[in-house]
Amino acid sequence: MAFSLLLAARILAQVHSRHSLTKALTTLSGEHPAARAAAQDVAFGTLRRFGCGEFILGRLLTRAVPHPETEALLLAALYRLQTRPEAAYMIVDQAVAAAGELAGGAFKGLVNGLLRNYLRQRDVLDAAMADDDVAGQQHPGWWLARLRRAYPTCWREIVATGNAQPPMTLRVNRRRVLADDYLAQLRAAGLAARRLAGAGDALILDKPVAVDALPGFADGLVSIQDFGAQRAADLLGPLAGQRILDACAAPGGKTAHLLEAADVELLALDLDVLRARRIDDNLRRLGLSATVKVGDCRAADQWWDGQPFDAILADVPCSASGVVRRHPDIKYLRRESDIRRFARTQAEILDQLWPVLRAGGKLLYATCSVFPEENGAQIDAFLVRQPDARRVSEEQLLPHDDHDGFFYALLRKAA
């Protein structure tokens, strides 16, 4: 466990240096699977408890820890002490051993003293932490303020869901198998799952498992995709023969779902070369075909052949505030100023995609955000700028036990 704490500390230090958790986790690729899994579990848990460890360090330290990885180790160890109190002294010993591998062991004494001091004052510190807004709610202060303004009656539920473990949801590939038949395959494999009422292809597992444990995953029978994300294909409603653009497509989950739903001619576009490759990988596994291009959807002259699209999915870059339980590093990486930056990019994407949509065609605007500036307010402003745009429907999914937070607005272009 000492080695896992050490690995978790190195991951957390990268996140605190503004690297994404996804990128930080790639550094574990050469480690033993058990150590990698344990380190990942500690890193995710520490990040979910935003502000908790920092609150305790602020109370127990007279000055900042001068070594980032040692500070990260303290945060990881405090998380373990809070969630595994029965193993407190073993965790302290493991953290001290891990500290011996950092900075030449210069901070072993600091780690030992601080963690034992926490154990002596735990009840008082935990009570004080519960009364602190940021540590108690485990979200940044600016984030909480925005949620309170936007959702005065249910912001606490949104916060609680964001701090919880996410469900593992499957999307059944309807071209290969029926949802009820695949549910039977899961049960035969000893995996408990349930269908979501009115959710079509979505199944939720009672407990997450490795993808290798899913029957037929390698053969494309199912994909991992939250129910909220699965709403995109249902709302856009692709029809056979249509020409469709998925404008911000990587990693390809929504692209694949559109192709599973109907025989369409689809262009999947993404700005990032590496992420675009994941689209190809996903389509290959599922036995689906689309044209995949790398390009900026705001620069149509780089990729558009001049033929208008019948339908467009614009799953735009956003704060990802609706999926924070899956990506807890977002709490550390986002700044309040990012919301305005995302809103500008979203407006540019809408304005630049509208001309490539045929008259009478549909555009589905999508975010995984709960902030109104990126959602309803963005669409209101677009409708003022584009008099030939009509709002067909609008749907805000707030984070829930069964799904993440998503926003969808279906627009139609006047004929």
Active site residues: 368
Residue whose C-alpha is closest to residue 290's, from 266, 260, 264: 266
| Separation of alpha carbons 74 and 112, rounded Å | 10
**Structure-token pair, residue 44:** 């995710």
Q: How many CB atoms lie within 10 A of CB 43?
A: 29
**Structure-token pair, residue 339:** 């919301």
β-pairing, 222-224 vs 202-205, is unpaired
**Structure-token pair, residue 56:** 């305790």
| Separation of alpha carbons 81 and 83, rounded Å | 6
Please give the DSSP secondary-structure letter assigned to residue 167: P
| Separation of alpha carbons 272 and 319, rounded Å | 18
How far CA 353 is from CA of 97, 268, 373, 381, 412, in Å, comes to 56, 14, 20, 15, 13
Which helix (H) or strand (E) segment holds residue 234: the answer is: helix 227-236
H-type helices in 105-189, by residue range? 108-131, 133-137, 141-150, 155-162, 179-188
